[in-house]
Amino acid sequence: MTKEYKGVYTFAEQVDGELTGVSLELLGKAGDLAADLDTDVTAILLGKDVADLAKVLVEFGADRVILYENDELELYTTEPYTQVVAAIIEEYKPEILLIGATAIGRDLGPRIAGRVHTGLTADCTKLDIQEESKNLLMTRPAFGGNLMAEILCENHRPQMATVRPGVMVRKIREENRTGEIINFDYELERNNKFVTVEEVIKQTKSKIEIQDADILISGGRGLGGPENFAILQDLAEAIGGEVSGSRAAVDSGWIDKDVQVGQTGKTVRPTLYFAIGISGAIQHMAGMEESDYIIAINKDPNALIFNVADVGIVGDLFEIVPKLTESIKAERAKQD
């Protein structure tokens, strides 16, 4: 019964007519999975006046885009989006459907899985095809990140997963890549599950909680003064992170208490933590040692921070950090 389901599908999330980053990341991963399964990649694109985005999806790796446009889909609401995706599943029978684990994806995913009666694995950080069975092996953190679980959905299709943003890698854009674009024919059924959006309130500048940041650039006593945090800010902007600091930097009045990492500050576990000019007091390490990847820059080769760092750089931060910022900008420019 599962055999008739074919192809790797992704949900291409767009907000205000712009594709979210994770939508492109999903295409990268879907390409790898499709290669292992000897099949192709289809992106599902829903919205109002979003046809232009289909080409972008093709350039980032979609072999085919199923497009559905409707005024009702201008703002995301659960029911119409669920209806259309469920109808596409019914017609095209995908083997795998990947959705970004965003505030939209984590609402849409379970609703679709419930409707088409299949399994859904939340917030995956790793996806592979099992060799013999060709099933999708989905890995996700559980117990507040203390435990990893490998999950299978063997007897139901599609195998559905939401995927954490920032984990998978987007492919390099190929400007002239071609793909098929299909306009999906479907009439929305107005039912009791439609809701009305009365107001959209955009947060102009959201207050950043450092615990939520994927990348933190942390500075300590080695920065020497508040004015020097500007070079950390530059690095943060280049790489897409937030600036935080040690107690020494907070106590000296260089940065806000809000962004202090450590026992007396906040405990963080970002994907990437830069410890710059931080010696590595135990109280600081208690707040950051569980970060996925730690890079420390310090001029003292005996600094304790090097004991927890994945990468330790002995050197002058004032020389290294600005150059690093330039290199990262150059890399990012190459990738776009």
3-state secondary structure of 73: helix
Binding test (CB under 8 A) with other proteins, winner from 175, 199, 227, 336: 199
Going by their DSSP bridges, the two strands 14-15 and 18-19 should be labelled as antiparallel
Per-residue tokens: 206: 């959201």
Tell whether residue 21 is a contact of other proteins (CB under 8 A).
no
Total site size for other proteins, rule CB under 8 A: 86
Full DSSP string of 244-277: EE-HHHHHTTSS-GGGBBSTTSB----SEEEEES
Residues 90 to 109: which contact other proteins by CB under 8 A? Answer: 102-104, 106-107, 109
Minimum distance from CB of 199 to other proteins (Å)? 4
Q: Examine residue 51 and tell whether it contacts other proteins (CB under 8 A).
A: no
Among 35, 51, 148, 208, binds other proteins (CB under 8 A): 148
Whose tokens are 């309130």? That residue is 201
Q: Does 122 bind other proteins (CB under 8 A)?
A: yes
Residue 196's CB is within 10 A of a number of other CB atoms, namely: 5
**Of residues 242-301, those binding other proteins (CB under 8 A):** 271-272, 289, 293-295, 297, 301
Of 330, 309, 217, which Cα lies nearest the Cα of 270? 217
Q: Is 278 in contact with 295 (CB distance < 8 Å)?
A: no
Q: Which is nearer to other proteins, 10 or 77 (CB)?
A: 77
319 is a contact residue toward other proteins (CB under 8 A): yes
Nearer to other proteins, 71 or 199 (CB): 199
Please count the residues of the chain: 336
Contact present, 188 and 81 (Cβ < 8 Å) = no
Compose the 149-178 pattern: x for residues touching other proteins by CB under 8 A, - for all others: xxxxxxxx----------x-x---------
Determine the interface stretch with other proteins among 53-61, 180-188, 258-266, 320-328 (rule: CB under 8 A): 320-328
Q: Answer whether 290's CB lies under 8 Å from 235's CB.
A: no
Among 2, 39, 70, 78, binds other proteins (CB under 8 A): 78
